[in-house]
Each structure stands twice: as structure tokens, then as C-alpha cells.
Amino acid sequence: MERVFITGRGLLTPLGNGLEANEAALRNGTSGITAIPEFADVKLDSLIGGMADHDPQTELIDRKTKRFCPPVGLMSVVAAEEAFREAQIAVEDIPNMRMALVGGQAASNSRELFENAAKYVGSDYRLRSITPFAVPRIMPSSAVSILSLIFGIKGESYDISAACATSALALMQAARLIRSGEYDMVMTGGVEQLDWQTALGFCACRALSTHYNDTPEKASRPFDRNRDGFVLSSGAAYLVLESERSVKARGVRPICEITGLGANSNALDMVVPDADASAAVMAAALKDANLNIKDIGYINTHGTATPIGDVVELDAIRKVIGNSGAVPAINSTKSQTGHMVGATGAAEVIFSSIMLEKQFISRTINLEEPDEAFGWADLVREYREGVRFNHALSNSFAFGGSNACIIISRCD
């Protein structure tokens, strides 16, 4: 079985464009949450969000291509471009590489669907009102298709959708393709755009924060006793995964290794998470990595700041710790970014890789009054520099019950 290494990473998040901007924000405890005017225009209950750059600039997309390239496509290309650059892969060489593409997108095409339907109805059902590029812009695999087209990736390519676990599961499938020896490299990750059409459903199920509309930067507050729901955000996060054989042949230095993978389903409730299933998926990832919980120095939680979700996840972590005496540091980077849904799993693996590589841990911002139920946990409330840890664990738990856990390890 081939070992799997991360050699390239690319990010667009509410914290900024690129790895450098995101690292600085993690270190500084910056919030990327702001007021979203269009949410107010349509009278949503939640008026805030984390808005990544939906129109980033790149020379790789010309005017012709942009006609059938929605924001998720633009964002994906820019993030993937940075990942290839860090991996020292020239764009012109990609078509000749044994490379696959596994992307993730959860619910990003609501606006495209809504606007096309509105144009059609508003024009008295005239087909000419709809662009002939509607299908490429609407299909769930639009971002993956754009990436394949722009970079000339000729291996298998497809989109995985599993709500909040989307890009974590995409990354896991990519890692499995390398482990099996089918591919030397896989470009993988996920993307999500932010619009009121998508936010509408989350408002209807009372999942979003509404108590901090006047102070957006305070709204995302995982583990805090005054948390009232998550903050919806957009972003793009992509990674180059590479086999040990390929890393050695190219003579590049890997950033870290993907050592543990775990996935399962709650199979109990559409929206309420389950501590036993969450604990089981972490245990599966630990077993896959041949590690135990004492080896994990840092856990990047799913940590969305919902009243129930945070309790269930911390209960699950406590089950995994058991009587081991382990005290891993725990935080939630969603306190800064909000919830990027389809992009969030990959983004948080990248965040974890930055902290593992640079040996720091960002704080959970807005954790002013920790829930008393979490008194046992080492919740990171102040920035930690110069920490020493070799393994990090990242959780993704989704509506629909899909769970994923990924462990990354430092390279010798």
C-alpha cells in the first residue's frame, strides 16, 4: 500500500486568498465574518456570513471559458493553481501526469437554478431568456469539470457530495486512489459559494446564528455557552496528494503525510449527530494510522457552534479518550471562518497541516464563557506558539449522518 503525502495546498476563505493570508489570520485570531447585505434585502433571520472572494483573478480563465464558469469554478481554479505551485508542478506538465481529480461541492448552485427559473418565468416562458451555458453552470460537478478542462487533468474526475463532510470524503477517496497504486497524484478538495438562496433553507431549519447580527465577528462561537448556531460561509480548498514513489521521483519535500482515514454514517437522524458514531469514526482513523489517542497532539473539531452539535462532538472525543489520560488540544477554526460546508473539510485539513508544519495552534475565538459541560477539555482559548506535536486529527460531521475523520502526521 502506497503512503500518501500532501505536497501542495491552495486556499480561498473568508480569511483571505492564499496560504499566507490564512496562516496570518489563524495566528492573529482574525474573524472573517461580516454582514451580508443581500441577506437583509430578502429579510433572512441571519444577516451574516463568511464571504470568500467569488471573483478571484487568474490568467488561466479567458473570457470564453468564463461564460460557463460559475463562481465555484473560478474559486476552484485559483485555489488549485496555488496548490500546484506549492507542489512545484508546472501547469503545462499536468496533462502528461498520471493524475486524477476528486472534488467536492455540497449546495453551491442554488443561485444559478433560482436565477434561470426566474428569468424563464419572468419572460413568459421564453426559452431564449436562458443562457445555453446554463447546464455547465448548474451541474453539481461544474467545478470539477472546469478544473479538468483548465489544467488538462486526464485521469478519472468526479464530484462527491455529502453536505458538511463533502470535501473530507473527497480527500479520503483521493487518498485511497493513491494508496491502491492507481494514481501517482490526485488533485482534491472542495468549494462552496455563499448566497441567500442557499442560506434560506438553513434559516428555515433554525440552524444559523441570529443573535449577533449587529456584531458579526462575534457570531461564530463554538463551545461557548452563548452559542446559537453556525455561520454560513463560502470558500475553496484544494490539495495535491502524492504517492511516496512520486515524491521521491520528483525530489520534492512533502508537507505532511495522511496517515489515518475513517468514515461511517450515523443512520439515526437526518440532522442530529450521534456521539457513538462520531467516536467510532475517530477510532477507525486512529486504527488506520496505527496510532492511539495519546499520539494526537491537536484536534481540529467540526465545531460549528450549534447547541447540540458541539456537545455531541465533545462527548465523542471524551469517549475516545476514555481512561487513557490523553489531553489533546482542541479548537474550532470555524470560529474564524464560519462553516464553508462543501469546502470546510479540506480547508480544515489544510489549516491543520499549516499548524502541524509550523508548530502552533490557533485559538477558538469568541470562546468567552466555555460551556460548563466542557470543563474537562483542553480548549485552546489563547494562541499557542512553539508547541510540539506530531499528529493532528480533523473531524467532519454532516447533515444526513455522514462522518469523516482524517489524521495527518509530520514528515521526518
CB distance 78 to 10 below 8 Å: yes
Helix (H) and strand (E) counts in the chain: 14, 16
Torsion of CA 239, 243, 246, 251, to 10 degrees: 70
Q: Rg of the Cα trace of the chain?
A: 20
Q: Are the beta carbons of 368 and 237 closer than 8 angstroms?
A: no
User: For residues 391 and 345, what is the distance between their CA atoms, to the nearest angstrom?
Assistant: 17
Please tell me which residue in 69, 203, 256, 302 is annotated as part of the active site.
302
Distance from C-alpha of 382 to C-alpha of 367, rounded to nearest angstrom: 10
Minimal CA–CA distance to 402: which of 189, 191, 172?
172
Q: Please tell me the number of Cα atoms within 13 Å of 153 on its side-chain side.
A: 29
Q: Which of 164, 203, 256, 405 is catalytic?
A: 164
Report d(CA 349, CA 285) in Å as an integer: 14
* Catalytic site residue from 69, 203, 256, 339: 339
**Beta-ladder partners of 243:** 4
SS3 31: coil
- The CA distance from 15 to 31, in Å, is 7
Cα–Cα distance between 396 and 406 in angstroms, integer?
9
Q: How many residues does the chain have?
A: 412
Known catalytic residue at 302: yes
Instruction: Show Cβ contacts of residue 128 under 8 Å, excluding neighbours closer than 6 positions.
Output: none
In angstroms, the CA 408 to CA 342 distance is 20
Active site residues: 164, 302, 339
